[in-house]
Structure 1
């Protein structure tokens, strides 16, 4: 077994945190994975993985070696793509990440259009509500909401979103429309545990920051559930404007306290900008940036012009 293949096996075991899971990912048998790791440790002369009957984790030497493996394999992949002409022709595997709901509503439709236009590219879309480390997880392009990029990365702003408080018109007709954020203490509130807005909501009052503690009567695990409860008239919630744009347009939800909202958050397409950028990344970034930049729900200025 060559060393590059051993590195791929070791990388799979470390990322999947198990031999069986790594074998499924590599489409091989668990014994062959075990033999590869044993051969690697014997050749290097040190233990890379600490194993018990219930768990597996990297040793200190294993953690350092994992970082080296990722770098070496990335350089090998880059060399092969360069030799194959991927810097002039979009081809190969592309990994993209975005927040779950934003990815489902806005990124997924663009993926299909892009793949139809560039048939030599395959895409893996990682839709998660966490900030993915692009280098560690091999991500080529990320959609980020907020100022969330690192040195060496290029960020292209494609829109912005607001943090909005909303409820159904029926709920507001019955309980009244709050005129100040302090009135939220009297409201029935549903919020998501995946949000950072579970215990307090931030506003701006007379150009000064204002923090309002909230006591949600209902905490759910996903924003969609909180939005549905608000749409059904149960209470109020606070989410990002893109998440309720369709419901607001349909009259199912009404946004309140708009004059107290903090500054909008930028939507950015982020990618590594070091050396030559493969054609698959350049074309996808251009394609995605153009599509998102044309969406009126993400660009209020466009809506006003229309």
Structure 2
């Protein structure tokens, strides 16, 4: 989301991902199954199976546990999965969410700490990673910043996906990294606010009601109309797939949107804050 746990929106396949994908394809073909047939067994589309086999999508443990019996139940798939290398900027608890995020039909984010990762300018992202404790090396900061910028390409490369953001006003007023970084960051957000598939709303400081007091959250809707949520804390994150729990968080976000400034008024506020710097 906003911290140091990003992965590129459509990351370049690593050698280990390509190797694992080829292994899946080999087992599938040996079993005489089409991608569509395997997809039915593991509850994924044939396109998702293709992405895994081509090394473009990182498989997760759920896929492995469902695919193993379908592909011979020899244990070979589990062993191969254990050798899949992580992508730069990829945290273990973020893996499943990142995979779901790349296929979502809508994404929503509420933040009260930092500008959401999908809206961060590169200078702002570098300021975020520069404040990490324990400190990151220059190379680590570079890797994280590149991963964040790559993930951000989703906003422009997926015009049919809806992106919604609610951000507390104090977040956009905080001059993390200094006044110049703050100016660049506000310009960055204002640029994204012009996209038809992006809505940015600011929760004003003088608002007397607030549905997001339990902290930041991210929500998505899958192509098959499932609603999921993701909650991130210090050094950890949780994917919430239980339908009832996810529904509660989606209702909270809907209330947040009704309490925040409209997208048009939010842009006006961002412009005023930018003019004050």
Is the TM-score greater than 0.5?
no
Q: TM-score, normalised by structure 2?
A: 0.27
Greater share of strand: 1
In our comparison, the structure showing a higher alpha carbon Rg is: 1
Q: TM-score, normalised by structure 1?
A: 0.26
Greater share of helix: 2
